[in-house]
Chain A
Amino acid sequence: MASALINVPAKAKLGDIIEIKTLMSHIMEPGYRRTASGETVPRDIITSFTCRFNGTEVFRADLFPAIAANPFITFFTTATGSGKFEFEWIGDKGFAETTSASIVVE
């Protein structure tokens, strides 16, 4: 059960530059730490984040071990029409989460 917080404006005017904010719950274990007994804690991070608008990719990011827990990714895009933003996070140990948010463009 991983939860995500998404902030997409509900409404925008055509051509507006809008900010999208995403926050995903994840421990982002870098894989360099050791336990008290000396064993390496296996890496467990999100490796990729993608945002698609009506099926077309508008933003993508690769994530690496130095990124803090619960990655907060924010970016800008242009409002080209009404539709649905789909967000996808993929990571180690089969981590795969998706969520979506709609926007109305006038």
Chain B
Amino acid sequence: MKVARTIAMAALLVVANAGAAEIPQSERRSGFSFMAPDTQAMQNDDTNNPGMLWVLDGEALWKRKAGSADKACADCHGDASTSMKGVAARYPAFDKALGRPVDLEQRINLCRANRQQAAPLAYESRDLLTLTAFIARQSHGIAIEADTDPQLEPFIAKGRALYSQRQGQLNLACANCHDDNWDKRLAGSAITQGRPTGYPIYRLEWQSLGSLQRRVRSCITGIRAQAYDYGAPELVELELYLMSRARGMPMESPAVRP
């Protein structure tokens, strides 16, 4: 009896592992490759890509003085094309003072609080999106390497656990769609592999630019679970795991997605 139960358990474990198989390196695909040629063309031409409107505004904001320190981003960081090159490809990154990873949006707000003595910018506000888009644009074409810091390991593990955790009324984990069924469609839309290569993205459905947290929150709402608040550690850990999962893939920011 006991032997039989052990065999049944082992069989169950094998099935569970098979379901959660990670996508092999050779089959990794950016969301870009799932899009229609028209949408791809929109992303590839900088004068067609609406995300570039935010990049343009971000460039102006980069040079504008803010806060009681009366400093602009450019006063410390200088020319963004050199100082910010590759930065977005390494975020979320470990913050020593906080003892946890922070994403690019949180880094901008930490800089505002500590260096500019300015009020934090709200998540998804135009100013925060323009700055993020402008900074992320400087990493265009650079390979993602957000997981090099060994201090991040426990947080990546937490993100991975959350990614594989079934939740919500539909009882789905991220992995159930984006690892197991990425080659299929959900209604008319491609499911994709969940590679965060182009954030912040201009999403045609949103008719606006939006962050990775916004995208993840709308996925969580889609499985009818309670979405974490913007800036919640769980969301940052998920962002971190998603970025580590896309290690080596080139950044496309600002990407266009349907």
Contact = CB atoms under 8 A, between A and B. Distances in A.
Contacts of B208: 69
B207 A5 contact: no
A32 B198 CA distance: 32
Contact of A70 (B45, B46, B47, B53): B53
A24 B229 CA distance: 32
Contacts of B50: 23, 25, 69-70, 72
Contacts of A70: 50, 53, 207
Interface string A58-72: 000000000011101
B52 A5 contact: yes
Contact size range, B: 10 to 19
Interface in A8-63: 21, 23, 25, 27-28
A89 B60 CA distance: 21
Which residue of A3, A7, A21, A28 has the most chain B CB atoms within 10 A of its CB atom?
Answer: A3
A1 B57 contact: yes
A23 B48 contact: yes
Contacts of A7: 45, 47-48
A68 B60 contact: no
Contacts of B53: 3-5, 23, 25, 70
B8 interface: no
A6 B207 CA distance: 19
Nearest to B206: A69
Contacts of A69: 50, 207-208
B66 to A, nearest CB: 15
Interface in B202-247: 204, 207-208
Interface of A: 1, 3-7, 21, 23, 25, 27-28, 68-70, 72
Interface of B: 45-48, 50, 52-53, 56-57, 60, 204, 207-208
